[in-house]
Structure 1
Amino acid sequence: MEFAPVGSLTIVGSNFVMADLPNGGEVAPPLVTTKTDARANGPISSAGTTQAPVSTTTAATTIAPTKSKIVGGDRQHEIARLAKALRDERRATIDPRHEYLFGRLAEAIGIEPSQVEDHILGDDKFDCIDDFFLAGGRRVLMFYYQESKNPEPNQPVYGRLANTGPKKRVMISTGDESMQLTGVLYYFVRPNQPKAITPANIVNEVVFGQLDASNGKMLESIDQLLANMLIPLFQQYEDWGALKTRSNINVQDFLDAMSQFTATVNGASDNIAHQVKLAPSDNDSTLSTLATPNDYQTMAQNGDFIIECEKLMDKWCKQIEKILAESEQIRREADDVGPSAELIHWKQRMATFNNLLEQIKSSRCRAVVGVLQSAKSKSINRWKDLDARITDAANEAKDNVRYLYTLDKFFSTLDKNNPNAIAENIPSLMNAIRMIHSISQYYNSSERMTSLFVKITNQMINTCKRYIKNGCSRLWDIPKQDLVNRIQESKKLNNEYQAYFHKTKGKLQESANERQWNFSENYIFGKFDTFCKRLDRIVDVLNTIESLSGLQNIRVEGLEPIVVKYRSVVDAIKKKSYDLLDHRKPDFDNDYNEFKSQIEYIQAQLQLFIDSWFRKSYTVEQSLLFLNKFQDLEGVKIDFGDKLSKLLQNFSKELDSVRKIYEKNKEDPPLSRNLPPTAGRIIWARQLYQRISIPIKLLQDKMDLSKTEDGRLLIKNFNKIAEALLQYEVLFYRNWERSIDLIKKGMEATVYIRHPETKEEYVNFDPQVLELIKDAQYLSKLGLDIPETATTLLRQEEQIRQTSVNLQELLNDIKHAYASIPKDMSQLFKPHREKVEEALRPGFVAITWSSLTIEEYITNVRQELEQLRILINDCTDILQCRIENSLQTIAEIQLCEPQNDPITLDEFSKLTDESCQHAIGSITKQALLCEKAVHYLLEILKKRLKPNEQTQIKETDSEYYDCALKSAMNTKGHVTRCNDCQPCAFFNFLTNYWNKNIDAIVQCTRSSLETIRKRLQQPIRYVGEEVIREQVRNPLFRTDIVLSIPNVLVKPSLDDMQSQLNKSANSMLKIGQDIPEWYHAQKLREITIKEIEKQALDEGEDVKLAVQAKAPKPLHKVIAENNDVKKGK
């Protein structure tokens, strides 16, 4: 965004022009006055001449006015037709851009957009709008909304001629025409001039605003625009293009110039508002016709007119006398008013008196004076005296303003800059004041110069206050060092100010021709000195608070009340709501005295606290550290002399105590938990040394021990104990170094070892290795040199520890895997366990702790173990879910399930037969499933064997699981297999689960018989001799009682029922005849019979009888002869 220079800002159309600044470009306000000519009511130009009336016709063609009737009606109609055609043509070119402008204007004015459109379409400057939209076109588009005597563009001809009164309308202005702005100015500004305005970007590229010039409010509108919008906006703006930030010097100068210009406009507006106008009269029209001495002489003959003129002059004289009296009164100003107020005051006086002079020189006043002079009125002498006084006052004000303007740039420096920058400009300021005092005609009095200096002092104080606060409402929120630095800079400004004042005063005293500065220095500098005294007290409070702030960090029992008191004192002074920098109010001085009194009380309490603390029993080190906590506080004023003497005696006793502890425990010192032996001993020795070294260092910092006999003896005893402790440390350190090579050999041992008796595996790790590593860690932290061997082990500590953990976890996992093998399959898993053992074997014979392949070794064993785990899980799942589950199902099958209600014998027989047939089917099915699962399990195990082991397992008729070791034996007709080879393990596993299959069928039969037995028996319980039936069950059989005279018979009889029960039981026991045997059972019978035949032949027995006696019994006989079944039966 670009801006016109402040010194050349022109407000067009308002008769307010700010030309180039006076005094070489310094900011100076225009002398705004109003001239009125008695003979014309038109505005006065800047040259003081009456302006001619200006036509404001804006129609396309000038329309000549008529007096009483319509002249040339056809011509008027033609003009109206052409104007309407022009408006229609322009209306056709309207697009959203025009509508946006019309809408903004209508919204701001408060009328309909169609009215704005009608006004503007008939304007002869309509092309300015199109030029505004072009790239590189007009930057500003202005519209006036004010009264105009021009007819409405769409009004009929006869209406225009009849209606000649002024109406408000919107008019386009270029800013350079003679049309005066008397209403409201609306403007559109395009900051980015090279960019064309389009319907899409008009909202973002065009800025809209207004200035209200009605009723002479133009300056007020400009002031509000600058003060309320532009300046706050610029002060918050961050992106200044090439100037980068708001802190740039050029940006600051621009903002200062804007602020100064705004103040100037505001002052000019106030001057205009407070102008005094000489009273009017009823004869103003007559006076306006008097211009020559002859006219005055003629009117002097009129006595009544002379009386009226004398009355008018008397009014004027009273008005002037009042103004002069007010100007001579002593001004009432605030105590802290700055020097800018002095310039504003004289500018106001200059505007007031210049206005009076202009009115006195007007034609109206000249006519009244001329008539009264011609009439030789007595009032003329009074007028002349007042005229001279007004002229002198105006000259005085003008002269003072002229000289004060030379100081205006210094006033801005005093208001805007920091104390250091102000101090740099003090020499120039003093020279300028010296020049004014020397050559000024009116402003060289002692009173006015003293007043000027006082105002300069006030401004310096105000600037220092603002600089010290830096936007903070509380001084306590500012960092202490920053606050102190600002205060020092402010005090430095006072010193520089007074120094250059005295320097300039001394130079004047050396020159007798110049006026001397006989000003009251106390009156000039008293406020600044008082302000600096206030600053000194503030700094003292800050330093005192900081010097004692360390009390809050001291953790000593019993100190809390003093700390609380300190905090309360600090909080009390920080919570004061008044302005600490207001040196005119005594509130802070009273609070400062109270603050110092409270601090003295805290000092006394600290002395009492320290005295009481030293009366308790503490070690020398604790006592010295306690003293250090308070000695480090700058704000604590305590005597520590007698305390140190007592501590010296206590330390001598402490040395003797340490010596006795060393002599008593040096062979077996008490070590902290988890400390290795060597490092623990060295740490113990160093702790003893630290116990005596810290106190003696603290004592040496506070006093010179070598100057006293007690001190020298103390040092001697200390050196003896310290030397013994050092030798103790060196001794154990050397022993530890020698043990490293021995411990290193432990790393060459194998990682696993077996117990010679129990053969249990263990991780073969020497705990001294970890002890050595731990010693190395502690000794390294203690600052001792570590040999390379120990350093290597130290670097490998994590690896060694992790390897040890991994090896132990490996053993645990192997044991857990072995324990998870089902007991019935232990022998089957023997070759698979041997694979793991084979992978594990190098750890017992070859793999050592220093081997590079130890990780690979653990990985290999892990892989074999994982294979074993998978096999165990697979076999366990098959065994539990398929084999054991089938056997459990067989055991739970019921061969007969009697109903709850009694049934007949025939029904029971039929029920038993049907249940047995159904049970035979279910048992057969489950037995086959179990057999298949067993063979599938063995097939899985067989596939995991080595090829040579697989060839040993044969299932042919001639070699059915023959023993690989050929050690099968026959004992009393039973074949016994070995427990070492896999064929025998397979054979035994099959035999075992065939037997379990038989056991399940036996369980099935026994439980069925048990069910029938329980149904036939009623549960009873005996209590003494009384029989109690716990539950009454329904009978199993339904019988009839038949009367057969003379007997009563039960049908069927008990014998029949018993016979049917026996028959049903036999049916249950014979189910084995219909259940097929496993293939293994058949092969087992064949092998057993062959063995029996062979044995009978060898022993000379009858083979047939031997086979009949010793051959395996069929399944139904095994069931029937089972003891449990017999009991159930």
Structure 2
Amino acid sequence: MSSEQDDPSSPQDDPSSPQEEAPPSAREAAPPGSQDSAPPPHSGEEGQTGEAAQEMALGEATSAEGEGSAEDAVASDLLNFTPSDEGLILSEEEELELKRIRSRPRTVQSILSESHSQPSHRSSKFFRSMSGVPNLQETLKERQARFREARENRKMKIDPSYKYVFEILSHSLGLEFVTVEELILDCPSLDSFDYFFMKDGSKTLKFLYQEGDSPGIECGRIIPGVTKGAKMMRLYIDNAAPEELKGPCVFFIRCRSDITINIKNIHEEVLFTVLDASSGLLVGIRNMLAKIFLPAILATNNWGALNQSKQGESEKHIFTETINRYLLFLDGARISIEGTVKLKKIDNVDFSKLHTFEEVTVAANNSETVRQLEDVLMIWYKQIEQVLIESEQMRKEADDSGPLTELEHWKRMSAKFNYIIEQIKGPSCKAVINVLNLAHSKLLKNWRDLDARITDTANESKDNVRYLYTLEKVCQPLYNYDLVSMAHGIQNLINAIRMIHSVSRYYNTSERMTSLFIKVTNQMVTASKAYITDGGLNHVWDQETPLVLKKIKDCIFLFKEYQASFHKTRKQILESSGEKSFEVSEMYIFGKFEAFCKRLEKITEMITIVQTYSALNSSTIEGIDIMAIKFKNIHHGVKKKEYDILDPRRTEFDTDFSGFMSKISALEVQIQAFMNSTFGKILSSQQALQLLQRFQKLNIPCLQLEINHTIERILQCYVAELEAIKKLYHSQKDDPPLARNMPPVAGKILWVRQLYRRITEPINYFFKNSEILSSVEGKAVIRQYNKISYVLVEFEVVYHTAWIREMSHLQYGACDTPRWRCPGP
């Protein structure tokens, strides 16, 4: 006792101590054996609250001990004069917190020793000491003043950097700036701001806005309209936040840690975002990733070195798909949590009184208790029975669900059933079973059957999850949309399914194997669609024709590889002894992929047609621009379709495809008629052939037949031209027309060469571009051409030889040495 009296931390010994607090309550100070009661306080005593009255009532216990009773009464009397915290709001948790941080209070013995040390005071159970009241009242005022002063000190630290954060909080939370400032000042410390702003300080600063207990006296202000222990919206900083996050969280992140954050650089160096956990933390994280970060990642074009190679594009795609899979994982976790079944809570039964064997025996002998527990058991029985019925029903799944959705389904089922089993093995359910077992209740037979069913179902789901986990790694290429690696990994995937089929106890049925293969096919089709459209970014019609045709070719190759691997594995199973064969329907497995490939073949045909007829836009043939406009309208009619043309389930594509082909057929007829009219009157075979070459450059298949007919007509015109040139030669060979200022011999040679070129250019074109010269008519034309060309060449050779002969004489004369007569004198 003496050590407690000499405690230097006592407020009585050191009034100026900053840790001086109000004395302990009567619940803390009164010894357990005290039975003396103090007289009630005066009715006019100020500051008396309901709490003080309760403390006084607690001190009115009687005691059988003689000497200690008087001291206890004095202590109780002194405590009854403790002033209340009128006008202040303190919750029970905050009171406990203050008691934990305050200085050590004086004990009852120290108070009594001081009362005995004054000789003028008489030891009596009715005695009240008034000496400590003024000191206690002053202590409360000092506490209030100290907390107000601390709040003012925190307010003085607010600089423009703080205000920048406050403004963002105000905008993000929909609060007034003043409200945000007051809520921040309610926090006992602003050191988190200093650590965040300082060099090499904290990288994050978090604020949580949610409902909590109203702040107590330590906040330094009185909150109007908020009573003690009431709930209110509060703004927590960093580690001061409660463990359960159930409101919006605004967090700030520093870009660099090697500089000090100030008002000049805070808008450049600090980023922020909002995590809304009002509907749960999983939902908040999922929404933040799906609605903020993933769209920002997809919208960015600055990927650095990844933009410079095809491998970089693949890495970007893998990264985004990893985020998508994580979002699916969060959805699965949320669904698993929401899908747990909790056995109904029974309020009218005290299960804590059914723990010992004696309690269970007494309950079993009470027919009313047994009947009540049987009702409880039936409630739980019906709950579990309903869960089992729902699990056995055919579940609804998306038409494009992949193999990993099967794993997620069984994970959810395993979590649901295991949680039910945990509750069955819990103390409440065990207590009910023990009582009904001793009472020989007839319900236990049905309950044991249900227990066996739920246990077997839980084991099934656990076993399925264990084996389906082996698919997770080999299925990753299906979700990366890389058809090259996908084609190489198909055999590993089918081998993994084969292992599950041969080893699994529950999952080796024909129905489940077929369902699993169908999901694999679904994911392949989904991956192929994403591969063609670059993850949905580029439409089929907006890509370069060679590129999109190569992608379609790769998808068809994947389908053939898938079929080949399946047939190879099936053959191996049939050849092996003792292994159960795949009893699955190939139509169900490959039907969707086969329909997808047929759709790709139709799309390929449309793309090829579009590529072919696009030549009309660049052609310079007079009058063909009308045909180009008609084709452009047909093409735009196909491109403006809003449905997914790669989805084989969209049957409207087949209708649009038939309409497209019929319009193209009509356009072909019009182009053929246009070409026929263009060559309606051929004036010259050379000009006709030049125009024909321009039609041939269009490379439109429907014109090939019309081109052959046109060549026949040009050949007939050519025959007439041969006859005309033959007549012209015979009529002008003796005196051919010469060009102006041309020498006679050279003029004649030039004249005959022009005739020769007129008959040679058409025959060369026929020989290179058509088989018409192989026909009977063509051979006759060749004979006629040979005769005329021989004559023309002979004419040129004769005149050229004669010219050379004449020139040789002139050359010899020119080479003689000139002789000059020297004139004599």
TM-score clears 0.5: yes
Distance in 2, Cα, partners of 1:370 & 1:123: 53
Residues 372 and 193 of structure 1: CA distance in aligned 2, closer, same or farther (over 3 Å): farther
Letter in 2 for 1:133: F
Shift of 1:83: 3.6
| Deviation by residue 1:110-168 (Cα, 9 ceiling, x = unmatched) | 55555554554564553232111111111112233331365143458999999344444
Q: Does 1:656 align with 2:726?
A: yes
Instruction: Give unpaired runs (5+ residues) of structure 2.
Output: 1-91, 106-131, 807-825
AA matched with 1:669: A
2:440 counterpart of 1:440: no
Q: Which residue of 2 aligns with 1:260?
A: 325
The reply to whether residue 129 of structure 1 matches residue 196 of structure 2 is no
Question: Could you tell me whether the CA contact under 8 Å between 2:463 and 2:506 is conserved in 1?
Answer: yes
Q: Is the 8 A contact 1:54 1:179 kept in 2?
A: no
Q: Is the 8 A contact 1:65 1:161 kept in 2?
A: no
Selected match of 2:557 from 492, 504, 508 = 492
Task: Return the offset for 1:653.
Answer: 1.7
Asked if residue 464 in structure 1 is aligned to residue 537 in structure 2, the reply is no
Counterparts of 2:181 and 2:673, CA distance in 1: 92
Question: 1:777-796, aligned counterparts within 5 Å?
Answer: none
Query: Once the two structures are superposed, what CA deviation does each residue of 1:393-428 show, in whole Å capped at 9, x if it has no partner?
Result: 222222223333332344443233143332122122
Task: Find the aligned partners of 1:651 and 1:565 in 2 and give their Cα distance.
Answer: 38
Unaligned runs of 5+ in 1: 1-52, 736-1129
Alignment of 1:3-18 (within 5 A): none
CA contact (8 A) 1:509 1:516 kept: yes
- 2:431 maps to what in 1? 367
Partner of 2:31: none
The correspondence of residues 732-811 of structure 1 with structure 2, limited to 5 A, is none
Q: Which residue in the other structure is 1:232 paired with?
A: 295
Equivalent position SS for 2:441: coil
Q: Which residue of 1 aligns with 2:762?
A: 695
Match of 2:363 in 1: 299
Distance 1:661 1:512, change over 3 A: farther
Q: Is the 8 A contact 1:83 1:122 kept in 2?
A: no
CA 1:124–1:513 in structure 2 vs 1: closer, same or farther (change >3 Å)? farther
Give matches, 1:160-175, under 5 Å: 163-174=228-239
* Alpha-carbon distance between aligned partners in 2 of 1:152 and 1:575, rounded to the nearest angstrom: 68
The Cα offsets for residues 700-733 of structure 1, whole Å up to 9 and x where unpaired, read as 2235969946524412422442565699899999
Q: What is the rounded CA distance, in whole Å, between the counterparts of 2:185 and 2:688 in structure 1?
A: 99
Correspondence for 2:213 = 148
2:379 alignment partner in structure 1: 315
Residue 529 of structure 1, CA deviation: 1.4
When the two chains are superposed, the root-mean-square deviation of aligned CA atoms in Å is 4.6
Deviations 1:741-781 (A, max 9, x none): xxxxxxxxxxxxxxxxxxxxxxxxxxxxxxxxxxxxxxxxx
State the Cα distance separating 1:525 from its structure 2 match: 0.7
Cα distance in 1 for partners of 2:98, 2:190 equals 11
Note if contact 1:58-1:124 (Cα within 8 Å) is conserved in structure 2: no
- Counterpart among 489, 513, 529 of residue 578 in structure 2: 513
Query: 1-side partners of 2:308 and 2:621: how far apart?
Result: 52
1:403 and 2:467 equivalent? yes
Deviates more, 1:314-323 or 1:655-664: 655-664
Secondary structure in structure 2 of the residue aligned to 1:407: helix
Which residue of the other structure, out of 648, 661, 669, is the alignment partner of 2:739? 669
Aligned pair partner of 1:96 in 160, 163, 177:
160
Distance in structure 2 (CA, Å) of the matches to 1:98 and 1:79: 27
**Candidates 37, 45, 62, aligned match of 2:101:** 62
CA contact (8 A) 2:475 2:493 kept: no
Q: Is the 2:595–2:648 Cα contact (8 Å) retained in structure 1?
A: yes
Greater mean alpha carbon deviation, residues 532-541 or residues 405-414: 405-414
The letter for the 1-side match of 2:786 is I
Q: CA deviation at 1:98?
A: 2.4
2:294 partner amino acid: I
User: 226-235 vs 722-731, which deviates more?
Assistant: 722-731
- Matched with 2:788 is 717
Contact 1:211 1:222 in 2 (8 A): yes
CA distance in structure 2 between the partners assigned to 1:185 and 1:512 by the alignment: 62
* C-alpha distance in 2 between matches for 1:716 and 1:650: 15
* Equivalent in the alignment of 2:686: 621
Provide the C-alpha distance between the structure 2 equivalents of 1:401 and 1:508, rounded to a whole number of angstroms: 24
- Residue 502 of structure 1 corresponds to which residue in structure 2? 567
**Deviation of 1:363 (Å):** 2.6
Deviation at 1:373, TM superposition (A): 2.2
Q: Which residue of 2 aligns with 1:522?
A: 587
Please state whether the residue corresponding to 1:153 is helix, strand or coil: helix
Closer, same or farther: CA 326–378 of 1 in aligned 2, 3 Å = same
**What is the letter of the counterpart of residue 511 of structure 1?**
S
Decide whether the 8 Å contact of 2:255 with 2:269 is kept in 1. yes
Q: Which amino acid is the alignment partner of residue 317 of structure 1? A: Y
Structure 2 residue matching 1:358: 3-state secondary structure = helix
2:256 aligned with 1:192, yes or no?
Answer: yes
Report the counterpart of residue 285 of structure 2 in structure 1. Answer: 222
CA contact (8 A) 1:132 1:139 kept: yes
CA offset digits 1:442-479 (Å, max 9, x no partner) = 22211111111112112222222233344477644433
In structure 2, distance between residues paired with 1:292 and 1:658: 134
Residue type matched to 2:517 in 1? F
Amino acid at match of 2:195: D
Corresponding letter in the other structure for 1:225: M
Deviation of 1:106 after TM superposition, in Å, equals 4.4
Give 1:298 shift: 2.6
Contact 1:147 1:166 in 2 (8 A): yes
Once residues 65 and 726 of structure 1 are traced to their aligned partners in structure 2, the CA distance between those partners, rounded to angstroms, is 136
**Mapped partners of 1:118, 1:578: distance in 2:** 54
The corresponding residue for 1:275 is 340
Question: What residue number does 2:518 align with?
Answer: 454
Q: What TM-score, normalized by structure 2, do the two folds share?
A: 0.70
* TM-aligned CA distance change 1:515 to 1:699, over 3 Å: same
Alpha-carbon separation, structure 2, partners of 1:660 and 1:670: 22
Shift of 1:236: 2.2
Deviations 1:145-197 (A, max 9, x none): 3313651434589999993444443333338x985445443322212222221
User: Partners of 1:401 and 1:569 in 2: how far apart?
Assistant: 52
Equivalence for 2:54: none
Q: Which whole-Å CA distance do the structure 2 matches of 1:572 and 1:180 have between them?
A: 56
How many Å separate the matches in 2 of 1:661 and 1:54? 129
Q: CA deviation at 1:437?
A: 1.8
**Alignment partner, residue 599 of structure 2:** 534
TM-score by length of 1: 0.53
Cα distance in 2, alignment partners of residues 456 and 513 from structure 1: 26
Distance 1:682 1:613 in 2: 36
Give the Cα–Cα distance (whole angstroms) in 1 for the partners of residues 586 and 174 of structure 2: 62
Matches within 5 A, 1:987-1006: none
The 3 A distance-change label for structure 1 pair 347 and 664 is farther
Change in CA separation of 1:592 and 1:725 when aligned onto 2, cut-off 3 Å: farther
SS, match of residue 377 in structure 1: coil
- The change in CA–CA distance for 1:680 and 1:421 in structure 2 (over 3 A counts) is farther
* Partner Cα separation in structure 2 for residue 384 and residue 369 of structure 1: 10
Q: CA deviation at 1:615?
A: 7.1
Contact 2:94 2:216 survives alignment (8 Å) = no
Q: Is the 8 A contact 1:300 1:374 kept in 2?
A: yes
Structure of greater Rg: 1
Gap change, CA 1:403 and 1:75, over 3 Å in 2: farther
Instruction: State the alpha-carbon separation in 2 of the partners of residues 555 and 125 from structure 1.
Output: 81
